[in-house]
Every structure is written in structure tokens, then in C-alpha cells.
Amino acid sequence: MPFYKSKREKPLTPDEALVKLEHFCAYRERCPKEVRAKLAELGLRGQDAEQIFEVLREDGFFNEERFAMAFAGGKFRMNHWGRVRIRLELRMRDINPEIIQQALASIDEQEYVNVLKQLLEKKRRHYEGDDHAREKTAASLIRGGFEPELVFQYL
């Protein structure tokens, strides 16, 4: 027996679930995997879940390509992730490989290099005086998802 009582005693009707999922999708871009997970979380399975999923897709509440573009751009600009990390994260969300390539191609090359240089300089200052500063700087940026050959080119 759980320590708390759930808010809802009875399961959601398909119409109630559709409204909840419309709000869920409207809040921010969602990928199909997130929508399916939310359907399962709400206790919907089988035919009802599939119908709701298709209605949301047809009405444009979520779109794999739109999600990938927003995700790649946002993670690069706000979190300074490199292409390698963005690619891995999109793969974990079951995004089509062609769409992943499009999303990564949408990142401006000059802006990408500028961010890499800024991060290199920041890390260089951070590890100043350390005997292994070069290695630590490179490792940090590679962990951040930047391509090793590009990191060493500018290091």
C-alpha cells in the first residue's frame, strides 16, 4: 500500500488525456518518445493511446524535425554543447538519423568555432599553472561534445 493516495481514483478518459497531452506538447517542443512516455504515465495503453498519439501528430502538436532543430540550437547556444553530444542526445530520443544531420547542419559553423575558442580560452585560464593544463582543457571540451580533431586544431 503506498504512503500517499493518488489524486485520481479513476483513470482518465481519452478526451481528458487528449487535453492534458495538448497542454504538455504546447508547453515546449516534444519528441515522439516523450509523448509516448507521457501517454504511458497517464495510464493509457493500446488503441486509445495510439489514437491520441496520431491525433496529436496530425494536429502538429509535436514534430520530430521541429524538435530536433530546437533541441540542437538550444543546447548549442545555451549550454555550449558540441555536435557529438547533441547527436548522442538526439539518438537517445529515437530521432531519425537524417533529421539529426539536418539539425546539426543548422548550427552555424563560424559560431560553432567561436564558441569552441571561447571555451578553450576559459578552460585555459581555469587550469593556468597546472602541469597538465593542455590535457585537462582538451578532455573537458571533448566531454562537452566537441570533436577531438577540432579541439586539438584550435588548442
In a domain, 6, yes or no: no
Q: With respect to residue 3, please indicate whether it lies within any of the assigned structural domains.
A: no
Q: Is the pLDDT of residue 8 over 80?
A: no
- pLDDT, tens only, 85-144: 999 999 999 999 999 999 999 999 999 999 999 999 999 999 988 889 999 999 999 999
Q: Are both 88 and 101 inside the same structural domain? A: yes
To the question of pTM greater than 0.75 for the whole model, the response is yes
What is the Cα–Cα distance from 152 to 155, expressed in whole angstroms?
Answer: 5
Is 9 inside any structural domain? no
**Predicted pLDDT of residue 9:** 56
Burial group, residue 39, by CB count within 10 angstroms (0-12, 13-18, 19+): buried
Cα separation, 11 vs 135, whole angstroms: 55
Domain membership of residue 141 as a residue range: 109-154
Position 44, amino acid = L
- Do 77 and 114 share a domain, yes or no? no
Q: Is residue 5 part of a domain?
A: no
Q: How many CB atoms lie within 10 A of CB 51?
A: 13
For the chain, the domain total comes to 3
Q: Is the same domain home to 126 and 140?
A: yes
2 in any annotated domain? no
Would 1 be classed as within a structural domain? Answer: no
